[in-house]
Amino acid sequence: MGFVDLAWLVPLIPCLCFVIVGLFGTKMGEKTAYGGLLVVFGTAISFLIALLVSYDYFTACYPAAVESHILWFTIGGYEINIGYYIDSLSCLMMLFASFISTLIFVYSLGYMHDQEMRKRRYFAEVALFLTGMLGLAVSSSLLELFIFWEVMGLCSYLLIGFWSFRHPEGDDKADNAASAAKKAFLVTRLGDVCLMGGLFILFLAMGSLDYTVVFNADNLAAAWAADSGKLLLAALLIFGGVIGKSAQFPLLDWLPDAMAGPTTVSALIHAATMVKAGVYLVARCFPLFCMDKDIMLFVAIIGGATAFFTATMAMNNMNIKKVLAYSTLSQLGYMFLSLGAGGYLVALGMETGEEHLMVIGALGYTAGCLHMANHAFFKALLFLCSGSVIHSTGTEDMRLMGGLKEKMPKTAMTMLIGTLSIAGFPFFAGFFSKDLVLDVVFETFEESGSISWVFILLWILGIVTAFMTAFYMFRLWFMTFMGEYKGGAHGHCHGESPNCMTMPLMVLSIFAFAFGFTLTFGWDGVFTIGLVDGAWLVGGGEAESGLHWIVELFTNWKTYVTIVLVLLAIYLAHCMYVKGTMNPGKFNKDGKSALYTTISNRWYFPELYNQLSWKLGYGVAKGVDFFDKQVIDGTVNGLSSSVVGGGDLMSKAQDGHVQSYAIIVVGGIVALFVAAALLFAQFGGL
Amino acid sequence: MIPLEYFLAFAAVLFVIGAYGVLTKPNTLIVLMCTELMLNAANINFVAFSAFSGDAIGQVMVVMTISVAAAEVAVGIAILLNAYKVRKSTNTDDLVSMRW
Amino acid sequence: MDSFVLPALILIPLVGTIITLFMGGSREKLAKIVALAFTVITLVISTYVMLAGDYSQFDFNSGWIDSAGLKMSFIFTVDGLSILMVFLTALLEVLVIVFCHDGVHMEHGEPKRNNYFYSLLLAIEVGLMGVYLSADYFLFYIMWEVSLIPMYFLISWYGGPRRHYSAIKFFIYTHIASLIMLIGIFAMAFQAAHGGVVDFGFEAVKNGVGLYASEAFQTLVFGLLFFGFAVKMPAVPFHTWLPDAHTEAPTAGSVLLAGVMLKMGSYGIIRICIEALPLGAPNWQFIMIGMGILAMIYGAYACIAQRDLKKMVAYSSISHMGLVMVAMGTLSGIGIEFAIFQMFAHGLIAAMLFMVCGAAHDHLGTREIALLGGIAGKLPLYASFMMFCFMASLGLPGLIGFWGEFGIVFAFYDWTVANDMIYLLVFCLLSLLLTAGYYLWAMQRTLFGRETKKIDMGKVTDLDKLECVALAVLAIAVAVYGIWPDCALSFIQGYVDSIVNSGIVLPSLNGVI
C-alpha cells in the first residue's frame, strides 16, 4: 500500500471542510475567519496528499494507471462502481487544482476580510467547489465524474450568486448577480443534460461507465462495430456537455456574466476548476472521440471559432474582469483546438494505419494539457491581480484606473508577468504551450489531405487570436498601471494590498513565468496519449528530455511569425494607451462603427438567448397554463356545472302542487296499462 | 241476477269521477271526499267479486278499507285544519311550499 | 407475535384517531403530543418491519366475510414494493405533526379545533397504511376510500379561501376514479371465481386471472383500473384537481397528499395492473409512456407560468409523477425498480417542498412569487432549506432525486432502443432542463435580488426550531439516500427479482453485455 491508495482522500478533505465550516462556521468566530483558516489548511493538506499520490504514482506505478473501486449499486444487472483512477492526467489535474486553490483561498482571507459572517458561506462553498473539481479528477467512472461535474455546477451557481442578495453595492448589482447565477446554472445545465444523454447511450452500449471498460480499445472497437451511430451520438452529446461547462461556442454567454461573483470566485472558476473540467473531459474521453475523426474536426472547429470570437469581444471592453473572462474563453478555445487537431490526426492515423500521424496527433494532446496547466497559473494570477486592483480602487472600470504602478508595485509587476505569459512572450509559460498548439494545427494542415483548408483557416484564426490576445492584454495592463493616475471610484486608491494577498501573487507569478520550462523535462512523454499494446494509455511515451524542444521551437519559422505578431501587438497597445501617438477612436469612429457596437453587444448572443429562452420557455408556458385553466379545467368545471344545471332544470318540474304530481302518477299508471294491453294484443299473452 | 259487469262498470265510473275530482278540484276538502269515492269504488269491486266467487275474504277487506279510510279522513282533516290555521286557505294552489 | 405487527400498524393510528377526536376543551393542547406519540410508535414499528429482512413472517390472514359465495378476508402483507411506502407514510406523519403549529389552521374563517386536525391526520394514516398493507381487493378498496374522506375534511375545514371548491373537486374526481376502479376489481374477482366462491384475496385473484384470463379481458380490466389509478397519480389530463387541492390544503395535508397519497396511484398500477394483469399491460404500454411524457413536459411548462409558489410545486409533482409513469410504462425490471425508487424519492422531496411553501405562508404571509424577493438576507435558514429541496427536486447528483431521474431515464432509454425510438429521449432530457429552469427562476425571484418592499420584512421571522427539525430530518434522508442509494434500492431489489422470476417483466430490455 503506497500513497497512491490515498487518492480518495484528496477530494474528501475539502468535503469534510465544507461540512464542518458549513455547519459550525458561525461558531468558529472572526479569529479563524469563520472557518476560512480551516479551509485553507484542509486544501493545503489536500495538495500535499495530491503531491504524495503523484510522486508515488510516477515513481512506483507509472505508466500503468492505478484503478480501484467498490460496487456502489446495480441497476438492472449493470454495475455502478465508485472508486478512483490515477494516471498522469488526473495527477496533473489534482495537482494544479489543489495548489492554485490553496493560493486563492489564502488570498481570499484578505480579499473577503470585511465580509464578516458571510465568510462562512463563502469558504464552505469554495470548499465544496474544490471537492467537485478534485473528485472529478480522481473519479474512476464517467457517472462519478458526472456527479462531481454537477456539484461544481451547483457551487458555481452559489458562488456567482454570492452577492445576489444584500449586495454591498446596492440592489441593482444584487439583481444582476442573481440573474447571472441563474444563467450560469441553466446554460451549463443544458450542456449537462446533453452529457447525461451521452452517458446513457454509452452505458447501454458498453455495459459500464468505468474508465477501464469504456476506454478499452477492444471494447470500443467492438461497440463501434456493433452500432457506430450510437457511439458517435454519445461522443457528440458528451462534447455538448463540454461546450456548456467550458463555455464554448455557442454556449459561451454565461461566463462573462459570471463576473458578478467575487473576483476570487472568478479566479477559481477560470483557473483551477469548472471550465477546466470540460478540457479534462475531452482529454479523458480522447479514445472515444478518436473513434471518428469528424468528431475531432468538430471539436477543433468549435475551439478555433471560440478562440477567435471571444478574443474580438475582449478588444473593446472596459471592464477589467470581463476582458479577463473573454481571454479565458479564448484560451480554452486554444485547448480544444489543440485537442481537436491532434485527435483528428490520431483518428486519421488509426484509420490509415500510419504510425507517425498518431505520434504527431499525440502532441496535440500534450499541447492541450500543457496549455491547460499554464493557463491555470497565469489566469489565476491575472484574476487575483485584478482583484487586488479592484480591492484597492473600488471599481472594475479600467477608464477610472491608470497610473497605479507606483501605488501598487507588487501587483503591477506580478500582473505584468501574467500578461506577458498569456500574450505568449518568448520564454514565458504561455509562449511554449501556445506555439505548440499552433504548431500542431499547422502539422494537421499538412497531413489532413482533402480537409486541410479547414485547418489552415484554423491556424490563421489561431495566430490572429494570438495577436489580439497580446493587444488586449497589454491594453488592459497599460490602462490600469501606466498613464495618468486617476485613482479609481473614489478618486484615490488604498495602495498596495495586504501581504496575504500579494504573497499568492508572487508564488503564482513564478509559475506563470517558469512552468513552460517543464516542457523540456519531458512533457511529451508523460502527458501524452497513445495506443500501447492495443490499449489506450495516458502517459507511457518515451520522454524526450533536454533542449530538443527549445531547438525545435526556435528553428521553426512559424514561431517567429507569432513572436513578431505579439511584439507588434504590444507596440500597438503601447502607442495607443501609453504614448497616445495613436488614437484608438480613429479605428472605431469613436465607438460608433458597426463592428464596434456588434462586438460591444457580444455579437448579439445575449439578445438571441434572451429572446429564445423567453419565447421557448415562458411563451410556451403561458400557452400551457391557458390550456390548463381554460380547456382542461374548463371541461371539468363545465361537466360539473352541467350536472348541477341539469338538476336545477329538472327540479323546476317540482312545483309543489299535489295535483300535478297526482296527474303524473295517474298518467303513468294509464300508460303502463295501455302498454300492457298493447303487448298483450301483440303477443297474445304475457 | 245482475251480472258482474254492471257492478264493475259502476265502480269504474265511480272511480273515474273520484279521480277527476282529486286531480282537478282546488278545494282540499273536495279532494278528500273524492278520495273517499275512489276507495268506495274499490270497495264495490271487492264486494262484487266476493259475492260472485263466494269467498268472504273480499268482504273482510272492505271492512278493513272502511276503517283505514276513517283513519285517513281523521288524519287528513287534522292536517287540513292545521294548514288552514297557518295559511288561512285550504286551496291546493296555495299549499305548494313542498318543492325545490 | 409477528403476525400481529401489520394489523398493529393500522390499529395504532386508529386508536389515536379516536382518542384525539375526544380531546376537546381543556385537553386540546395535549392533542399534538398524543398524536405525535401514536405516530412515533407507528414509525418505530414500521422501521422494525423494514429492517426485519424476511417479510413473509409478518403475513396476517383472518377471515371476515365468507357467505353467499363471496369471500373477503383481512389479509395484510408487506414486501419490497410496499415497505418503503409504509415507512414513508409513518415518517411523514411524524414530521408533519412536528412541523405544524397549533392554530396555524385558524387563518381562514372561523377557528377550528386542534384535536380534530390531528385526528384527521391520524385517520389519513389509517387509510394509507391500509392501502399499502392490505392484500385483499375488498379491504384495499375500503382503505382506499378511508384515506380519501379525512383528506376531504382536512381540506374543507382547515384549507385556504377556496377550500370548499377544492375539497369537492378533489373528492368527486378521486371518487369517480375509485368507482371505476371498483368495477375493474369486481370484474377481476368474478373472473377469478373458483368453485363458486368469489375470493377477493390478491393471491387468489392473481392465480385466477394472472396468465389465464384472455388478453382481451385483461386489456379491458387494465383500462378500468388504470383510469382509477391514473387520476390519483395524477396523470395529465386528469390532473386539475391536484393544483387546486394543494393550493387550498393546509401544509400538513399537502405534505401527505403529495408525499404518500399520490403514490397510491402508482402503487396500484404496479401492484394490481402490472402484477395481476400481465397480458393486458403490454397493450397499454404506449399509452402509459405517452401519458408519462406528456405529464413531464406539460407539468414542467405549467410550473414556469405559475405565480403561486405552492401551485408551482404542485405542478412539479405532476411532472415528477410523469417520470414514474414512464418508468412503469417500460415494463422492465429497471423501470419498475426505479419507479418505486422515484416514488420514495419524490415522497421525501415533495414533503420538503410543501413544508417550505407552507412556511412561506406562515412566516411571510404570502406565497405569491411576485410579492417576494431577496428574502435570503433576512431568512437564511429558510433560504437554505428552500434551495436544498429545490436542488434535490431538480435532480442534483448526490441527492436522492438524481438517482430516480437517472434510473428512470436509463430505463426509458433502454425501452426506446428496444422499440427503435431513441428520439423520444429528447423529451426526457428537455423536462430535466425545464425543471432546472422553473426552480432557478423561482429562486431568483423569491430568495435573491433586491429585498421586497411589498411585504413588511420588519416583522418576519426565520424558521423556528421544530420546523427546522422536521426539515433537517428530511434533508438528511435526502442526502444519505442520495449518496448511498442502495439503502433504498436493496429493499426494492427483492420485489423486482420476484416479479422478474415470475415472468411478468424482463429485467432489462436489451440485456447485459
Band of residue A491 on the pLDDT scale cut at 50, 70, 90: low
Q: Is the pLDDT of residue C136 over 80?
A: yes
For range B23-30, the mean pLDDT: 89
Cβ C293 vs Cβ C428: under 8 Å:
yes
Nearest-neighbour CA in chain A from B66: distance (Å): 22
pLDDT (tens digit per residue) in C184-213: 999 988 888 877 788 888 888 888 887 678
Nearest-neighbour CA in chain C from A158: distance (Å): 10
User: How far is Cα A513 from Cα A421, in angstroms, rounded to an integer?
Assistant: 6
**Closest Cβ–Cβ partner in C429, C484, C510 for A196:** C429
User: How far is Cα C303 from Cα C297, in angstroms, rounded to an integer?
Assistant: 10
What backbone torsions phi and psi does residue A5 show, to the nearest 5 degrees? -75, -5
Nearest-neighbour CA in chain B from A669: distance (Å): 12
Query: Among A540-544, A678-682, C276-280, which is the least confidently predicted range?
Result: A540-544
Q: Is there an interface between C and A (3+ Cβ pairs < 8 A)?
A: yes
Helix, strand, coil percent values for chain B (each to nearest 5): 80, 0, 15
What pLDDT shows up at residue C19? Answer: 92
Band of residue C513 on the pLDDT scale cut at 50, 70, 90: very low
Nearest partner of C298 among C231, C240, C228, C368, judged by Cα = C240
**Half-sphere exposure in the Cβ direction for C157 (13 Å, CA):** 20
Query: Among A441-445, B67-71, C108-112, C338-342, which is the least confidently predicted range?
Result: C108-112
Start-to-end CA span in chain B (Å): 55
What pLDDT shows up at residue C374? Answer: 83
Whole-complex ipTM: 0.91
Nearest CA in chain C to A630: C240
**Closest Cβ–Cβ partner in B19, B92, B100 for A658:** B92
B80 and chain A: CB distance < 8 Å anywhere? Answer: no
Query: Among A263-272, A338-347, A587-596, C394-403, which is the least confidently predicted range?
Result: A587-596
Q: Chain B partners of A651 at a C-beta cutoff of 8 Å?
A: 99-100
Nearest-neighbour CA in chain A from B96: distance (Å): 4
| Peptide bond just before A250 cis, omega within 30 deg | yes
- A71, containing H or E segment: strand A66-75
**Closest Cβ–Cβ partner in C440, C449, C512 for A186:** C440
Chains that touch A (3 or more CB pairs under 8 A): B, C
C-alpha cell read off for C377 = 438576507
Name residues 12-71 of chain B within 8 A of A (Cβ): 19, 22-24, 31
pLDDT (tens digit per residue) in B49-88: 999 988 888 899 999 999 999 999 999 999 889 988 888 8
**Contact between B98 and A656 using a beta-carbon 8 Å cutoff:** yes
Band of residue A642 on the pLDDT scale cut at 50, 70, 90: very high
Chains that touch B (3 or more CB pairs under 8 A): A
**Contact between A166 and C374 using a beta-carbon 8 Å cutoff:** yes
Q: Chain C partners of A181 at a C-beta cutoff of 8 Å?
A: 444, 448
Nearest CA in chain A to C486: A73
Nearest-neighbour CA in chain A from B18: distance (Å): 12
**Contact between C302 and A72 using a beta-carbon 8 Å cutoff:** no
Nearest CA in chain C to A149: C397
Q: Chain A partners of B23 at a C-beta cutoff of 8 Å?
A: 659, 662-663, 666
For range A493-520, the mean pLDDT: 84
For chain C, give the percent of residues with pLDDT over 90.
51
For range A200-207, the mean pLDDT: 89
**Contact between C410 and A164 using a beta-carbon 8 Å cutoff:** no
What pLDDT shows up at residue B69? Answer: 92
| Peptide bond just before A63 cis, omega within 30 deg | yes
What backbone torsions phi and psi does residue B11 show, to the nearest 5 degrees? -60, -40
**Contact between C425 and A200 using a beta-carbon 8 Å cutoff:** yes
pLDDT (tens digit per residue) in C228-287: 999 998 888 888 899 999 988 888 899 999 999 999 999 999 999 898 888 888 999 999
**Closest Cβ–Cβ partner in B19, B22, B92 for A657:** B92
Nearest partner of A376 among A628, A100, A68, A597, judged by Cα = A100
User: How far is Cα B3 from Cα C371, in angstroms, rounded to an integer?
Assistant: 94
User: How far is Cα A627 from Cα A60, in angstroms, rounded to an integer?
Assistant: 66
Q: Chain A partners of C481 at a C-beta cutoff of 8 Å?
A: none
User: How far is Cα C480 from Cα C272, in angstroms, rounded to an integer?
Assistant: 31
Nearest-neighbour CA in chain B from A676: distance (Å): 19
Q: Is the pLDDT of residue A661 over 70?
A: yes
Nearest CA in chain A to B20: A663
Nearest partner of A416 among A493, A505, A537, A487, judged by Cα = A505
What pLDDT shows up at residue C457? Answer: 77
| pLDDT, chain A, mean | 85
C-alpha cell read off for C210 = 394472472
Per DSSP (E only), the strands in C123-205 are: 198-199
Residues whose CB falls within 8 Å of the CB of residue C272, separated by 6 or more in sequence, listed in order: C225, C229
Band of residue C313 on the pLDDT scale cut at 50, 70, 90: very high
Enumerate the β-bridge partners of residue A141.
A210
How far is CA A122 from its chain centroid?
Answer: 20
What pLDDT shows up at residue A542? Answer: 66
What pLDDT shows up at residue C512? Answer: 52
Q: How many beta-carbon pairs under 8 angstroms link A with C?
A: 149
Q: Is the pLDDT of residue B27 over 80?
A: yes
Nearest CA in chain A to B35: A662
**Contact between A658 and B100 using a beta-carbon 8 Å cutoff:** no
Nearest-neighbour CA in chain A from C121: distance (Å): 29
User: How far is Cα A67 from Cα C206, in angstroms, rounded to an integer?
Assistant: 49
Please give the torsion angle defined by the CA atoms of residues B44, B48, B49 and B51, in that order, rounded to the nearest 10 degrees. Answer: 140
pLDDT (tens digit per residue) in A299-332: 999 999 999 988 988 888 888 888 999 999 999 9
What pLDDT shows up at residue C318? Answer: 93
For chain A, give the percent of residues with pLDDT over 90.
23
Helix A228-245, helix A293-315: angle, nearest 10: 20
**Contact between A73 and C485 using a beta-carbon 8 Å cutoff:** yes
Q: Pick from C440, C462, C497 the residue to mutate for testing the A interface (most A CBs within 10 Å).
A: C440
Q: Pick from C166, C168, C301, C431 the residue to mutate for testing the A interface (most A CBs within 10 Å).
A: C301
Enumerate the β-bridge partners of residue C198.
C70
The bridge status of strand C70-76 relative to strand C60-67 is antiparallel
For range C431-454, the mean pLDDT: 88
pLDDT (tens digit per residue) in C381-390: 899 999 999 9
What pLDDT shows up at residue A131? Answer: 93
Q: Is A457 or A656 the better-scoring residue by pLDDT?
A: A457
**Contact between C513 and A207 using a beta-carbon 8 Å cutoff:** yes
C140 and chain A: CB distance < 8 Å anywhere? Answer: no
Q: Is the pLDDT of residue C111 over 60?
A: no
What pLDDT shows up at residue A33? Answer: 73
**Closest Cβ–Cβ partner in C398, C406, C513 for A151:** C398
Q: Pick from A657, A660, A669, A673 the residue to mutate for testing the B interface (most B CBs within 10 Å).
A: A657
- A109, containing H or E segment: helix A88-111
**Closest Cβ–Cβ partner in A165, A193, A623 for C374:** A165
**Closest Cβ–Cβ partner in B22, B24, B96 for A655:** B96
Q: Is there an interface between A and B (3+ Cβ pairs < 8 A)?
A: yes
